[in-house]
Amino acid sequence: MLFQPAIIALLLASLVGTMMVVASVPFAVRVLRRWDTASGSGDQLDMEKRTYLVSTLLVVVLLSELASLVLFVFNADRMSSLFVGAMCAVGTLNVNDFGFPTLYLKIIVFFAASAWLVLNHVDSRGYDYPLVRVKYGALMALAPLMMGAAGVQLAYFLGLRADVIASCCSTLFSGATQITSDKLAAIPPEVSLMALAVVLGLAMVVGRRALVTGRGGVLYAILSIIVFAVAMEAVVAAISVYVYEMPHHHCPFCLLKGEYGHVGYALYLPLFAAAALGLGGGIAQPSARFASLAGAAPRIMRRCIGSSMAGFGLFGAVAVWLIWRSHLILIEQSPVNAILLNLSGGQP
Amino acid sequence: MSPWVHKQRNLLDFTLSSLSRRKGKTLGMMVVYTAIVFVLASVMLFSHAIRREAAVVLAKSPEVLVQRMVAGRHDLIPARHLEAVKGIRGVQSAEGRLWGYLFDPAAVANYTLMVPTNPRIEPGKVVIGDAVVRARSADPGDLMSFRAHDGALVQFRVDKTISRESALVSADLFLVSEEDFRRLFGIAPGLFTDLAISVRNPREVVKIAEKIDAALPDTRIILRDEILRTYESVFDWREGMLLVLLAGSILAFAIFSWEKASGLSAEEKREIGILKAVGWETSDVIRLKMLEGMVVSLSAFLVGYLLAYLHVFYFGAGLFEPVLKGWAVLYPKYKLTPFVDELQVATLFFFTVFPYTIATVVPIWRAAIVDPDTVMR
């Protein structure tokens, strides 16, 4: 199965990217051990020049990692026609044991890479390389992660055989087996939607406070990861069901298909971007401690959190729109009605 | 307008003017880049279009085909098998098909013989495909004769020809009546080439296939989905093969762009030196150079893709045709339906822009870190 154009492209990108990151690890070690802005030695000057090369390379590589997550899911969805019983990306990812780990690792790499990019951006605003050690420390953590992701992805693609019987999403998300995704689907839709509304509201409040006072960026970052998790759960438990208008179809991948107007992209792209930017806000805020970043860091933090809030808002709006236009009634008794019922003493 | 947008606009302006100051170099780069995109995009567009064509054609074919196997070889299937299949619940309709191949010594080519059931063809008449018309220069009313299995001569009068629109599937077709078919090959009544079964509910197809398999153990069952999947795999594989073969050219291209980007003229070096002397930072110079790369990349990508589109959909993809579609004596003449796929564009972007960008980073950095005093001296 390696001779699939998209697979070749994905492997090429991950191979080149991993090579670049691994190749910059020795430099990271050198920076961590010998970096000293006060010194005017040739070694220090060389390192200062070289940081430009490393950060430019990594910007290119990490941006390609972000794009490759989208390409990976898109391709998995497209390849489902090649496997017996597979009807969407779930089937393709289930062809062997490495499919879902690849996806999860790619999502983790996505967030790690975007966090690193924000860190790099903040660092470039200060004239005295204030975050250089943090940056290269983070790079050394990123390298094994990317290597792992590239390796698991290679194992997944090597193990693809077009003739195996894959399970279709309807059996995986039907609630009959004991898999995590089933437990996600088993959560009542009203609970998941309520939880989503609560955490989204909380994120908006904290985000607004951070925009006004310039504090609370870290809290917002933590919250945005929680919002991300809760939102994914709500997609599986409720929103997708509203889109398919079938009470037992809980697949988060079929949303990406043309039959449903590719609405999945309208949901996921803002959500992923918002969570990544929220994370960036949490990284930018603590860097304001450095004198050279006292002006730039809060500005970047505000920009990150502002765009992140806009992203979450967009996600919420799309979700509400999907539920509103759906013909399916999943929650017969709305919470408002229940409260009214209680107030009137139980008499309808 | 926000200062950020203003800054980017000025940078872009500067980039364009600096590119136009070195017309020869930029143009050379553009030509090679465009050629690479053109070649890769042609391969992708062509294989995609032909895959779609196959899918469109197969969408109308029966869901299930049943063939009888004797000693591992395809054999004629008796009518009682047809009755057995018709008895299975969920089968909408089943019919015995008659088809085969006929070698025509005059054209040195194989025709595909079929017996259509709707509308039927009168005995003694034949309807022929476009390629047969060309091979035998036959017109309606002409006579064509062939030797039957026992050596007797069987004569056909050309009734009409099939239009060229459906040439991809009908080019080598030779449609005859059931009586003529049986006489030509000596097939006794009550025997068919295979059975075509249509199923009302697509989700029952696999179950019905299982039932047929249980009821008629001497048969081979082919599902439409399997055929589609196989086509998909085969074309993916061919496309991937060609791309791997072209990997060498991508590599050469990466080396070429590395060379181009590192071969800075004294003029350019002085330019960078002056920029740094007037207060540009290393990161600004890198940004400027990356922007140059982006302008070249995007223009080359766009032009290359457009040329490939024209090549494939208006000029029949003359350069890659033999590799991608195979060959036959009676090959159909057809025009592919234009179709652009998002995944394909994204993949192509990864194949071209990504290697180019990576290859130029180091030379760009090397240019950007020069000290102003050394180059201006």
Structural domains counted in chain B = 2
Q: What is the DSSP string of B124-193?
A: TEEEE-HHHHHHHT--TT-EEEEE-TTS-EEEEEEEEE--GGGHHHHTTEEE--HHHHHHHHTPPTTEES
What residues of chain A lie within 8 A of the CB of B286, using their CB?
52, 56
Q: Do B361 and A56 touch (CB under 8 A)?
A: yes
A59: pLDDT strictly greater than 90: no
State the alpha helices, DSSP H only, in A159-288: 169-172, 180-186, 189-213, 217-234, 240-244, 263-284
Q: Which of B232, B244, B354 is nearest residue A82 as measured by Cβ atoms?
A: B232
B147: pLDDT strictly greater than 60: yes
B290 touches chain A (CB under 8 A): yes
A346: pLDDT strictly greater than 60: no
Residue of A nearest to B227 (CA): A82
Q: Do A162 and B229 touch (CB under 8 A)?
A: yes
- Find, among A159, A158, A151, the residue nearest to A95 by Cα: A159
A314: pLDDT strictly greater than 60: yes
pLDDT digits (tens, 9 = 90+) for A265-312: 888 899 999 999 999 888 888 888 888 888 888 888 888 999 999 999
List the domain boundaries for chain A.
Answer: 1-167, 169-348
Q: Do A3 and B244 touch (CB under 8 A)?
A: yes
What residues of chain B lie within 8 A of the CB of A57, using their CB?
358, 361-362
User: Which of B160, B192, B222 is a domain's end point?
Assistant: B222
What residues of chain A lie within 8 A of the CB of B364, using their CB?
56
DSSP run (H or E) holding B199: strand B194-199
Relative to beta strand B219-223, strand B64-70 is: antiparallel
Question: CA of B157 to nearest chain A CA: how many angstroms apart?
Answer: 44
Q: Do A4 and B236 touch (CB under 8 A)?
A: yes
- Which residues are CB-neighbours of A259 under 8 A, at least 6 positions away? none
Q: Are B122 and B199 in a shared domain?
A: yes
pLDDT class for A179, splitting at 50, 70, 90?
very low
User: Which of B222, B255, B270 is a domain's end point?
Assistant: B222
What residues of chain B lie within 8 A of the CB of A61, using their CB?
358
Q: Which two tokens stand for residue B132?
A: 């047969």
Give me the pLDDT at residue B331, please: 61
Question: CA of B245 to nearest chain A CA: how many angstroms apart?
Answer: 11
Q: Where are the beta strands (DSSP E) in B62-124?
A: 64-70, 73-75, 77-78, 91-97, 99-104, 109-114
Q: Are B74 and B46 in a shared domain?
A: no
B350 domain residue, yes or no: yes
Q: What's the rounded Cα separation, in Å, for the pair A108 and B109? A: 58
B227 domain residue, yes or no: no
Q: Are B213 and B68 in a shared domain?
A: yes
In this structure, of A36-40, A279-283, B27-31, B84-88, the range with the lowest mean pLDDT score is A36-40
- Which residues are CB-neighbours of B221 under 8 A, at least 6 positions away? B64, B65, B66, B67, B209, B212, B213
Give me the pLDDT at residue A333, please: 58
What residues of chain B lie within 8 A of the CB of A12, using their CB?
350-351, 354-355
pLDDT digits (tens, 9 = 90+) for B27-48: 888 999 999 999 888 888 888 8
Q: What's the rounded Cα separation, in Å, for the pair A339 and A332? A: 14
Residue of B nearest to A3 (CA): B240
B202 touches chain A (CB under 8 A): no
Q: What's the rounded Cα separation, in Å, for the pair B357 and B149? A: 66
Residue range B58-86: mean pLDDT, rounded: 86
Relative to beta strand B64-70, strand B153-161 is: unpaired
Residue range B21-31: mean pLDDT, rounded: 86
Instruction: Share the mean pLDDT of chain A.
Output: 81
Q: Which of A5, A57, A64 is nearest residue B243 as measured by Cβ atoms?
A: A5
State the residue for tokens 């298909």. Answer: A257
Q: What's the rounded Cα separation, in Å, for the pair B14 and A346? A: 74
pLDDT class for A163, splitting at 50, 70, 90?
low
Q: Do A49 and B350 touch (CB under 8 A)?
A: no
The fraction of chain A above a pLDDT of 90, given in percent, is 19
Question: CA of B183 to nearest chain A CA: how many angstroms apart?
Answer: 41
B144: pLDDT strictly greater than 70: yes
User: Which of B222, B246, B272 is a domain's end point?
Assistant: B222
Q: Are B336 and B274 in a shared domain?
A: yes
Q: Are B11 and B54 in a shared domain?
A: yes
In the chain, the amino acid numbered A38 is A
Q: Which of B185-199, B209-223, B229-243, B326-340 has the highest mean pLDDT?
A: B185-199
Q: Are B73 and B210 in a shared domain?
A: yes
Give the mutation candidate from B365, B366, B370 for the A interface (greatest A CB count, under 10 A). B365
What are the distances in angstroms from CA B113 to CA B99, B100, B246, B260, B362? 5, 5, 40, 59, 63
DSSP run (H or E) holding B221: strand B219-223
- Which residues are CB-neighbours of A64 under 8 A, at least 6 positions away? A13, A16, A17, B350, B354
Q: Do A6 and B347 touch (CB under 8 A)?
A: yes
Give me the pLDDT at residue A146, please: 92
* Distance from the Cα of residue B183 to its chain's centroid: 39
Phi and psi at B107, nearest 5°, equal -100, -5
Instruction: Give the DSSP letter of residue A260.
Output: G
A340: pLDDT strictly greater than 60: no
Question: CA of A5 to nearest chain B CA: how many angstroms apart?
Answer: 5
A51: pLDDT strictly greater than 70: yes
Give me the pLDDT at residue B302, please: 94
Q: Assess contact for A80 and A88: CB atoms under 8 A.
A: yes
Residue of A nearest to B366 (CA): A53
B364 touches chain A (CB under 8 A): yes
Give me the pLDDT at residue A105, please: 92
Give me the pLDDT at residue A334, please: 57
Question: CA of A76 to nearest chain B CA: how many angstroms apart?
Answer: 11
State the residue for tokens 């409720």. Answer: A238
Give the mutation candidate from A12, A56, A95, A265 for the B interface (greatest B CB count, under 10 A). A56
Give me the pLDDT at residue A332, please: 64
What residues of chain B lie within 8 A of the CB of A13, using their CB?
350, 354
Q: Do A16 and B368 touch (CB under 8 A)?
A: no
Q: Are B47 and B82 in a shared domain?
A: no
- Find, among B61, B138, B59, the residue nearest to B106 by Cα: B138
B307 domain residue, yes or no: yes
Regarding an ipTM greater than 0.90, the answer is no
Residue of B nearest to A56 (CA): B361
Give me the pLDDT at residue B292, please: 87
Interface of A with B (CB under 8 A): 2-10, 12-13, 16, 20, 49, 52-53, 56-57, 60-61, 64, 67-68, 70-71, 74-75, 78, 81-84, 124, 162
B351 touches chain A (CB under 8 A): yes
B57: pLDDT strictly greater than 80: no
Question: CA of B362 to nearest chain A CA: how many angstroms apart?
Answer: 7
B229 touches chain A (CB under 8 A): yes
Give me the pLDDT at residue A185, please: 62
Q: What's the rounded Cα separation, in Å, for the pair A165 and A157? A: 16
Q: Which of A49, A124, A162 is nearest residue B233 as measured by Cβ atoms?
A: A162
Q: Which structural domain range is residue B311 located in?
A: 3-58+232-376
A169: pLDDT strictly greater than 50: no
Q: Which two tokens stand for residue B79?
A: 């009518």
Give me the pLDDT at residue A307, please: 92
Q: Do B350 and A60 touch (CB under 8 A)?
A: no
Tally C-beta pairs within 8 A across A and B.
92
pLDDT digits (tens, 9 = 90+) for A112-138: 988 998 888 888 888 888 888 888 999
B247: pLDDT strictly greater than 90: no
Question: CA of A151 to nearest chain B CA: how many angstroms apart?
Answer: 19
Q: Assess contact for B355 and B55: CB atoms under 8 A.
A: no
Q: What's the rounded Cα separation, in Å, for the pair A74 and B2? A: 35
Q: Which of A16-30, A151-165, A248-262 has the highest mean pLDDT?
A: A16-30
- The 8 Å CB, 24+ separation contacts for A206-214 are A207/A278, A207/A305, A207/A306, A207/A308, A207/A309, A208/A309, A210/A281, A210/A285, A210/A301, A210/A302, A210/A305, A211/A302, A211/A305, A211/A306, A211/A309, A214/A285, A214/A288, A214/A298, A214/A301, A214/A302
Q: Which of A13, A52, A60 is nearest residue B350 as measured by Cβ atoms?
A: A13
In this structure, of A35-44, B172-181, B303-312, the range with the lowest mean pLDDT score is A35-44
Cis peptide before A5 (omega within 30 of 0): no
CATH number where B149 lies: 2.40.40.20
Give the mutation candidate from A3, A157, A167 for the B interface (greatest B CB count, under 10 A). A3
Residue range B348-365: mean pLDDT, rounded: 87
